[in-house]
Structure 1
Amino acid sequence: MRSTAVTRSTLRQQIADALREEVLAGRLKAGQEFTVKEIAEQYGVSATPVREALVDLSAQGLLDSVQHRGFKVHEFSVADYRGMVEARALVSEAIFRGIADRGTGPLADAMGSVRRRAEEAQRAAIAGDLNVLIGYDLRFWRELGSLYGNPYLSDFLHRLRVQAWVFAVPYLRRAHDLEGRLWSGHTELVEAVASLDAAGAYAIVSAYNEHSLALVERLAR
């Protein structure tokens, strides 16, 4: 009985992860509708873990339940995006200040991995490789946020970043060439955090947010 529950839980997570990737890649587009049956047939699984995965994604704000019809990909607006950027700035500031207050001890073991993620994300951003960037960028911020040690804050920041990417991706994909146009200050941010420079880290993120808003709003027009 326990083994069956674990298997279903794992399958539920795998389906949720796969569908999230579909949304982030733009293959599932904003407003697109689908049913539990369609997804179950697509992945060759039963309806139960699919329904649970779709409910999970709805709770994360990525899907909407459509009564008697199934689910659809949530449609974020430019105003929503501005709100996401503002919220993630506030959460980031709290994390940076918390890390600075705790000192260098807890950082020692984790900074190597965070730096590697930063370098990978930065290379993809400079090259304008959106597909590679999204994955590395989400992992980078996930690890950076976890340095503070508060999973509620880091999970909230991760959710905001996923939602922001979901909104921005369709507009970014319309651009002919993203090389040199995406924010690429990941390593600079890591060094500020490693130096316990909370104000410097927040200034970097503030400049990043202004850049992101300006770019996406320009493309959305």
Structure 2
Amino acid sequence: MPGTGPVTRSTLRQQIADALRDEVLAGRLRPGRAFTVKEIADQYGVSATPVREALVDLSAQGILEADQHRGFRVPEYSLADYRSMLEARGLVTEGMFRALTAGHPAFATPAGDPRTAAALATVRRRGEEAARAAAAGDLTVLIGYDLRFWRELSALFGNPHLGDFLDRLRVRSWVCAVQHLLRLPELRGRLWAGHPDLVDALARRDAQAARAVVAAANAHALTLLEELAAG
């Protein structure tokens, strides 16, 4: 956990939380894996306090869950959990798309407005990187760019609470999806790569097309996970 300045308890807490989140999202901490505060503190060579705080933070996000016998463990999410997460995400994105059609300030400027164009260009770059990672079957890179893509896209709507809520939902749904996707020996060509299509739809102020892109992404992921669970 390298840093460029003094490491305070607060930054150490965040560094530990980020490192453990990455381990879960990469599938290196498997579902059901349990551990204590002491184990993690010993692993990172730090005191128990920032570790406990980091683990509590991750539990609040649904990345870990408290285990009264072992301390904390990686949750085992079902397909029913995943469907519920998709439904919750859909309610949030539907609100975003309704705001788009209602003339939300982020999209109410002329199509050629440099501020809007610059913001969408940044989101597009994340989407293109996500699409490349998906095509290559690089799940870890895809997850990183997908989360950044949606954080930056949500920021266009100017509501940090909406962005934070959607980010937590997407992280949690990735935690669930990874548990199934790692059963595939080869992910190349199996992952959804349509992020740039969503940016195109938003650039055109076409909420209906944006809804269709998100629906296609959700259907693709759910179908793949259902196949894996069945086979």
How would you bin the TM-score normalised by the shorter chain? over 0.9
Aligned residues: 217
| Alignment partner, residue 125 of structure 1 | 134
| Alignment partner, residue 145 of structure 2 | 136
Provide the identity percentage: 66
Distance, in Å, in 2 between the alignment partners of 1:179 and 1:145 is 28
Distance, in Å, in 2 between the alignment partners of 1:130 and 1:107 is 30
Shift of 1:104: 4.4
Distance, in Å, in 1 between the alignment partners of 2:182 and 2:90 is 24
Distance, in Å, in 2 between the alignment partners of 1:135 and 1:84 is 19
Distance, in Å, in 2 between the alignment partners of 1:49 and 1:212 is 35
Distance, in Å, in 2 between the alignment partners of 1:57 and 1:78 is 21
Q: Between Structure 1 and Structure 2, which shows a larger proportion of helix residues? A: 1
Paired residues of 1:58 and 1:65 also in contact (CA < 8 A): yes
Q: Which runs of 5+ in 1 are unaligned?
A: 1-5
Distance, in Å, in 1 between the alignment partners of 2:191 and 2:161 is 28
| Alignment partner, residue 112 of structure 1 | 121
Shift of 1:64: 1.4
Aligned residue type for 1:164: S
Return the TM-score normalized by structure 2.
Answer: 0.89
Give the SS at the match of 2:151. helix
| Alignment partner, residue 52 of structure 1 | 53
| Alignment partner, residue 13 of structure 1 | 14
Give the SS at the match of 1:71. strand
Q: Which runs of 5+ in 2 are unaligned?
A: 1-6, 110-114
Q: Which of 173, 177, 185 is the matching residue for 1:168? A: 177
| Runs ≥4 residues deviating over 3 A | none
Shift of 1:161: 0.9
| Alignment partner, residue 86 of structure 2 | 85
Return the TM-score normalized by structure 1.
Answer: 0.93
Paired residues of 1:104 and 1:194 also in contact (CA < 8 A): no
Q: Which deviations, in whole Å up to 9, do the C-alpha atoms of 1:152-204 show, x marking residues without a partner?
A: 11111111111111111122121122221111111010011122111110111
Shift of 1:96: 2.4
Q: Which deviations, in whole Å up to 9, do the C-alpha atoms of 1:17-64 show, x marking residues without a partner?
A: 110000001111111100000001111111110000000001111211
Distance, in Å, in 1 between the alignment partners of 2:50 and 2:116 is 38
Distance, in Å, in 1 between the alignment partners of 2:10 and 2:50 is 7
